Amino acid sequence: MALPFQTLRPHLLRTFGVPVHRVALDAGSDCPNRDGAKGRGGCVYCDVEGSGTGALRTGVDLREQLERGIRRVARRDPGGGVIAYLQSYSNTYVEESRLEEVLAAVEPRLGDPVHCVALATRPDTLPDWALARLARLNARVPVWLELGLETADDRILFEINRLHTVDDFRDAAARAHAAGLEVVGHAILGLPGDGREGARRTAEVFAETGVEGVKVHNVLVLRRTQLAAWWRKGRFRALDPETYVDWLADFVERLAPDQVLHRLTADAPPEERLAPRWDVHKNAIRERLAGELERRGTRQGSRVSPAGTGSAGSSDS
Ligand code: SF4
């Protein structure tokens, strides 16, 4: 049965003609929120690995990380393709020569089996030279730029120590689009002070900016973070699964109908995660979301205006 929202797997099959699988790579990039250029300590929810694999710090160079990933994919799905995913920290917050080195490790495997290169970065660390280099790569395989917005509220972006603005995100998405790249926007629901209205506003910014893909998940409280201290003091509570699905349905209704949902949940090892303690499998969240939209009689895009610049229809809460 067709789901009332766009999911990644059929999109990948339509785009590449074969199933493709992400291989996460750690290029050892840094982050301006950690090295003092913008701030120190990082975003309140980010652990010291920068949401990454930490592979480079274990001594595995990028080429070897990619080759190991390719072998894993070949064992799991012979004939499947690969998305080379530069995940950790801010991958365009590097010297020009370093980005060149990183891409040189990936480029020999383009086409077979690397069908796509995805890079995560911050919207305020996207220099023109990096966009121009990625545009050249994009002439060979699709390049997806994953940009963190997290919430569409400047006050909360400041309070959670992200230290960029919503307009930084708008500007970065527009420049990436002008360079011919696809953009995947990243959002977190349930950030301190954001609430249900925050979930709605964030989706509206994604619809307005026309990002092609969306990643969204609930806040996880990880052990080695500032948020863990807030949670221990009772300053922050993680969402229960029912509330998350409810807000997620609001969020999805406000996306444009063709934006592809790359993810709806986040994972973290149980020994690293303090809250929430619920473990609902990603397939179950997807089914609950479909059930909630069906109950409401809505679907992805039901509450977005035709111009994609705001929600249509009345609020249901
Ligand atoms: S910008 Fe990314 S890597 Fe840097 S502290 Fe925030 S979440 Fe972590």
- Output the pLDDT for position 316: 33
Q: Residues 149, 185: contact at Cβ < 8 Å?
A: yes
Given a cut of 90, whether residue 48 has pLDDT beyond it is no
Instruction: Please write the tens of the pLDDT for every residue from 181-217.
Output: 999 999 999 999 999 999 999 999 999 999 999 999 9
Q: Does 50 sit in the ligand 1 pocket, CB within 6 Å?
A: yes
Q: pLDDT, tens digit, for every residue of 146-164? A: 999 999 999 999 999 999 9
pLDDT mean across residues, the chain: 92
Band (pLDDT 50/70/90 cuts) for residue 41 is: confident
Report the nearest atom of ligand 1 relative to the CA of 120: 2
Contact 117, 86 (CB under 8 A): yes
The predicted pLDDT at position 58 comes to 60
Residue entry with tokens 């709806």: 264
pLDDT at residue 314 above 80?
no
Tens-digit pLDDT profile for residues 243-289: 999 999 999 999 999 999 999 999 888 899 999 998 888 899 999 99
Farthest CA pair distance, the chain: 54
Mutating to test ligand 1, I would choose from 121, 122, 215, 224 the residue with most ligand atoms within 8 A of its C-beta, which is 122
Distance 90 CA to ligand 1 centre (A): 7
Kind plus residue range of the DSSP H or E element containing 119: strand 114-121
Tokens of 104: 């040189």
Residue 50 has pLDDT above 90, yes or no: no
How much is the pLDDT for 178? 98
Q: Which two tokens stand for residue 187?
A: 């959002």
State if residue 46 touches ligand 1 by the CB under 6 angstroms criterion: yes
φ and ψ of 274, to 5 deg: -85, -40
Q: How far is 203 from 193, CA to CA, in rounded Å?
A: 17
Q: Give residue 254's pLDDT.
A: 98
Cβ 220 vs Cβ 273: under 8 Å: yes
CA of 120 to the centre of ligand 1 (A): 10
Check residues 282 and 306 and name the one with the higher pLDDT.
282
CB-ligand 1 contact for 29 (6 Å cutoff): no
- Report pLDDT for 55: 57
Does any ligand 1 atom lie closer than 6 A to the CB of residue 42?
Answer: yes
Q: Which CATH class is domain 8-296?
A: alpha beta
What's the sign of the alpha-carbon dihedral 156, 160, 165, 169? Answer: negative
Q: Please state, in angstroms and rounded to a whole number, the distance separating the CA atoms of residues 124 and 296.
A: 38
DSSP 3-state assignment of 84? strand
CA distance 74 to 198: 41
33 Cα–ligand 1 center, Å: 6
Q: Over the stretch 102-124, which tens digit does the pLDDT of each residue have?
A: 999 999 999 989 999 999 999 99
> Which stretches within 80-194 are classed as H helix?
96-106, 128-138, 154-159, 166-178
Rounded Cα gap, residues 78 and 54, in angstroms: 27
Asked if residue 276 has a cis previous peptide bond (ω within 30° of 0), the answer is: yes
DSSP 85: E
**Interval 279-297: pLDDT, tens:** 888 899 999 999 999 999 9
H-assigned helices in 268-307: 282-296
Q: How far is the CA of 202 from the centre of ligand 1 (A)?
A: 18
| Rg (the chain; Cα; Å) | 19
Q: What secondary structure letter does DSSP report for 311? A: B
**Distance from C-alpha of 236 to C-alpha of 190, rounded to nearest angstrom:** 10
Label the pairing between strands 182-189 and 143-150.
parallel
Distance CA 252, CA 239 (A): 17
Of the candidates 26, 23, 29, the residue with the CA atom closest to the CA atom of residue 52: 26
pLDDT for res 224: 92
Q: Is 131 touching ligand 1 by the criterion CB < 6 Å?
A: no
